Structure 1
Amino acid sequence: MEGSTTKGGGSMFGQLLLNILIAFLWVLLQDEDQFYFSTFFAGYLVGIGILYVMRRFFFNEFYLHRLFAVVKLLFIFIRELFYSSVVLIKQILSPKLKITPGIFTYRTELKSDVEITALALLLTLTPGSVVIEISPSNDVFYIHAMDIPESKNSVLRAMTTFEKAIMEVTR
């Protein structure tokens, strides 16, 4: 995976292990009779602070940055899913079916198979649109939308938003 290891200091997994080690050291320094999760959690938070302060000496990227990017991508997906579900419900509940289905293309900047697959799946999971095909060069998506005049712009907006969030997670 691109970007999983950093130059000059270790992987994000290594950062996590170091943070857990700091948390256990914190528990040992507290000299308590039992193991308390609250003490471990406090040590974990202290470890986050230490690693954050020391990040420029040891690590290229702070490991929680990617976790925050994943959470951000999840919230973007939930927002887009809710928005497209409302549009779909409005179409279903309208007395007359006024849709103009169609296919359009979207050119992506994503390069790796993981990034392209994630974008295709995120779009397919939102109601009213589906990725039909991806070009052999992996840079053009062929997308079927339920209602081209109404949903094309919202699908393109969602694709752009998803694409930026995926790049934050994977690069």
Structure 2
Amino acid sequence: MSLQLFLNFALAFVWMFLSSNYTSTGFIIGYLLGIVLLFAMRRFLETRLYIYRVWALVKLTMLFLKELVLANIQVLKVVLKPKLDMQPAFFAYPTVLTKEWEITLLSSLITLTPGTVVVHVSDDAKTLYVHAIDISDVDEAIAAIRNSFEKAILEVSES
């Protein structure tokens, strides 16, 4: 990925110098042309085009913001109820993520979402122990995390 990014910047500078356009517009045009050239040469590259990973990162960020807003609304509903009928619980979340940064990111995303906290990661880093402030179905919560955050992290990290 870093080689592709370096190549794209180098192509942008080459375009800027060849067109004698030393402005940001010239650089942006060169950068976009560099993306087109990298896309055309993608079969010669070892990994997938870095733009796909950048797009997956943007999607992960948007997913987190959406989940953040929804979780805040859920916590607000729980707090504003006249009678607290919460069902707090601890549950074990088995993860398929293997890299340390992926597990750390998943733990952070879960913890930053209101109403949930990762309290421990197992020694083999295969299980996260999560506390939820109000949860009715543990299997549903596990499936929700797997189909949202974990899936998006896998999209970002795959080569």
Q: How does the TM-score come out when normalised to structure 2?
A: 0.90
**Deviates most, 58-67 or 144-153:** 144-153
1:10-159 → structure 2 map (5 Å cutoff): 12-32=1-21, 35-149=22-136, 153-154=140-141, 156-159=143-146
Amino acid at match of 1:19: N
In the aligned structure 1, how far is the partner of 2:20 from the partner of 2:52?
32
Against the structure 1 CA distance between its residues 25 and 45, is the aligned structure 2 distance closer, same or farther, given a 3 Å change threshold? same
The number of equivalent residue pairs is 158
Q: Does 1:167 align with 2:154?
A: yes
1:157 match: secondary structure: helix
Cα RMSD of the aligned pairs, angstroms, is 1.8
The separation in 2 between residues aligned to 1:159 and 1:59, in whole angstroms, is 28
Q: d(CA) in 2 for partners of 1:98 and 1:68? A: 41
CA distance in 2, matches of 1:150, 1:91: 16
Shift of 1:60: 2.6
> Aligned residues: percent identity?
41
Looking at structure 1, the residues matched to 138 and 43 of structure 2 have their Cα atoms a distance apart, in angstroms, of 45
Query: Deviation digits for residues 5-26 of structure 1, max 9, x if unmatched?
Result: xxxxxxx111111111111121
In the aligned structure 1, how far is the partner of 2:81 from the partner of 2:146? 27
Deviation of 1:73 (Å):
0.9
TM-score of the two chains, using structure 1 as the length reference: 0.84
Deviations 1:94-130 (A, max 9, x none): 1121112111121111112211111111100000111
Q: Where in structure 1 do 4 or more consecutive aligned residues deviate above 3 Å?
A: none
Range with greater deviation from structure 2 (78-87 or 128-137): 128-137
Contact persistence 2:93–2:142 (CA under 8 A): no
1:90 deviates by: 0.9
Per the TM alignment, residue 133 of structure 1 is displaced from its structure 2 partner at its CA by 1.4
Partners of 2:90 and 2:130 within 8 A in 1: yes
Q: Is this contact kept in 2: 1:106–1:156, CA < 8 A?
A: no
Report the AA paired with residue 5 of structure 2. L
Query: Aligned equivalents of 1:19 and 1:169: distance in 2?
Result: 20
